[in-house]
Amino acid sequence: MSMWWFITTLAITAFFYNSPVYAYDNNPLQDICVAVSDSHASVFVNGKICKDPKLATANDFYFSGLNVSGNEVPGFGFAVKSVDVNNMPGLNTLGISFIRGDLEPQRIAPLHTHPRATEMITILEGTVYAGFLVPDPANFFKSRLFSKILNPGDVFVFPIGLIHFLYNVGYKKATCLFYFNSQNPGVIGIPNSIFASKPPVPDDIVAKGFHLNKTEIAELRKKFS
């Protein structure tokens, strides 16, 4: 009787774990993927074609130059240098990438989110105020702020998809390393996405959503365009 029960339980468990009804998709690695009926169309799930493993070299898994800052993001006083699949091909499909960020004094990395990755930061130099927002499950219109003043050697994490920011509160440049558990974490800048979209979000929607008038909206569009 006990053997029959064991076999029955094993069969039921195997069914549920293998049933298509209980399957789930992998996290997407690109923002959109419009379906096409053309059988000759190329499909890139991770955005890259894999090299023949026999042709791979150590240089595919190597990057140099993280000891110097990267290119500045216009208007923000924030320079970034990325290490990702585009300059380290061996990272393809491994689900990781990272960035060196240099933030000038009193400047910010504005409110943004990474839709496909959790982000962990390490402070190398300077003093940074970092925080992220968690929606209040009891009230859709409110959120809770988790924030810390970070100094060299400190580590902080932004959970996947949550809005977050960095602010250099010190008087010298801050240097940080940002680690992502995705080879393509994506980034959505909240202010620019709303006020610099093309075509623009209709004024009535922005006005009602942010309690602004059309003059204020026009001024914000100029600042973020």
Q: Which residues are annotated as a binding site for Mn(2+)?
A: 112, 114, 119, 164
What CATH number has the domain bearing residue 107? 2.60.120.10
pLDDT in tens, 178-215: 999 998 899 999 998 999 999 999 999 999 999 999 89
pLDDT in tens, 106-137: 999 989 999 999 999 999 999 999 999 999 99
Beta strand 108-113 with 188-189 is antiparallel
Q: Which residues are annotated as a binding site?
A: 112, 114, 119, 164
Please state, in angstroms and rounded to a whole number, the distance separating the CA atoms of residues 84 and 97.
Answer: 5
Domain-embedded: residue 77? yes
Q: Which residues are annotated as a binding site for oxalate?
A: 114, 119
Please state, in angstroms and rounded to a whole number, the distance separating the CA atoms of residues 132 and 6.
Answer: 48
Domain-embedded: residue 8? no
Domain-embedded: residue 33? no
State the residue range of the domain holding 182. Answer: 60-224
Q: Where residue 14 falls among pLDDT bands split at 50, 70, 90?
A: low
Domain-embedded: residue 44? no
The per-residue pLDDT of the chain, averaged, comes to 86
Please state, in angstroms and rounded to a whole number, the distance separating the CA atoms of residues 184 and 86.
Answer: 10
Half-sphere exposure of 55 (CA within 13 A, CB side): 4
Domain-embedded: residue 5? no
Q: Does the pTM of the predicted model rise above 0.85? A: no
